[in-house]
Amino acid sequence: MKCVRIHEHGGVEKLVFDDVPKPSIGPNDVLLTVKATSLNHLDIWVRQGLPGVKFPLPLIPGVDASGVVAELGEAVRHVRIGDRVVVAQGISCGHCKQCLNGDDNLCKDYRLIGEHRDGADAEFLAVPGRNILRLSDSVSFETAAASALVFLTAWHMLVNKANVQPGDDILVVGVSSGVGSAGLQIAKMLGARVIATTSSDEKAAKARELGADEVINYKTHSVLDQVRRLTEKKGVEVVFDHVGSSVWEECIKAMAKGGRLVTCGATSGYEAKIDLRYIFYKQLQILGSTMGRKGDLMTILNLIERGVLKPVIDRVMPLAEVRSAHEIVEIGKHFGKIVLIP
């Protein structure tokens, strides 16, 4: 099969187009023909490399996948060859306490396709059958590929971790990203007022169209000053963050008493300072979050099918242009997800 592989870390030139054998499957696995994948910031980190993290190179990147079942292991019963499906990216052991309790993203053996094993930037992808979910005919492959990771991540952050309540003020940091645009929609669905941040007036207009109540252009305004103005100095009950060190201090100061900050990433850096006086005096909670529970993805797909949630797709590109797609995401010249078609 044709695929994109990373043999060594570095710039976009390290995304190499290869021909490799089609994956073989075991009795509990499914092989799908990939119809769409999408680009996440994780793909950038995998390509560039991270200090202290060893990736299993050579590696096919690509964390999101939708497609058609091509082959079935003999033990797989819930789908058939030819079915339209989407992949739950997190692979866990399936038998530990966390997995049996439904908290599979807490499994000590939790692994992601495209990071710890070959991913979806290819013609075919093999995964355990339990990671395959049926896809409604009313949901396109592109929509599914743009939804799974970012909506599952945002759902876990806001529903399971931050326990968002109707009437909460929520600061969505970096709303133009895939996870940011997903977080905005979920927060609005839960009845919150969303204050979003972004880097341009053009992106701010798109965020308002998506439902943001207030948008702050952090290039031209102080986020902290604007949050204090918009909340009459109260601050926000929830901060939704995936940016990290460059916004950390400002986010802590922007929180209301009893507020919750939930974070899933550190695209601007992973070292951050905290004035502990804010934490104990304002009784703040800092919550870490990674991916989400596979079962929640079924709820999300149902909401997408009903039109309650909708992934924002910036553009659809052929997989042959994956290097250009990486460059667009790396410099932030997008709003929502870039979908790639093999």
Q: What is the pLDDT of residues 116-131, one digit of tens each?
A: 999 999 999 999 999 9
> In this structure, are 126 and 156 located in the same domain?
no
> In this structure, are 264 and 180 located in the same domain?
yes
Q: Which residue has better confidence, 271 or 82?
A: 82
> In this structure, are 319 and 282 located in the same domain?
no
> In this structure, are 178 and 94 located in the same domain?
no
* Domain-located, residue 267: yes
Nearest in space to 182 (alpha carbons), one of 84, 66, 297:
297
> In this structure, are 50 and 127 located in the same domain?
yes
Which residue segment(s) compose the domain that 258 sits in?
A: 152-288
Distance between CA atoms of 104 and 111, rounded to whole angstroms? 10
> In this structure, are 274 and 163 located in the same domain?
yes
* Domain-located, residue 201: yes
* Domain-located, residue 227: yes
Nearest 5 degrees, angle CA 222-CA 228-CA 234? 155
> In this structure, are 280 and 332 located in the same domain?
no
> In this structure, are 284 and 158 located in the same domain?
yes
Residue found under tokens 């870039």: 338
Give the whole-number percent of the chain exceeding pLDDT 90.
92
Give the confidence band of 271 by pLDDT, cuts at 50, 70, 90.
confident
> In this structure, are 131 and 13 located in the same domain?
yes
Number of structural domains in the chain? 2
* Domain-located, residue 121: yes
> In this structure, are 182 and 284 located in the same domain?
yes
* Domain-located, residue 47: yes
* pLDDT, position 297: 95
Distance between CA atoms of 270 and 235, rounded to whole angstroms? 24
Q: What is the CATH number of the domain that holds 260?
A: 3.90.180.10
> In this structure, are 18 and 130 located in the same domain?
yes
* Domain-located, residue 65: yes
Q: What share of the chain is helix, strand, coil (3-state, %, to 5)?
A: 35, 25, 40
Q: Is the pLDDT of residue 50 over 90?
A: no
The average confidence (pLDDT) of the chain is 95
> In this structure, are 128 and 221 located in the same domain?
no
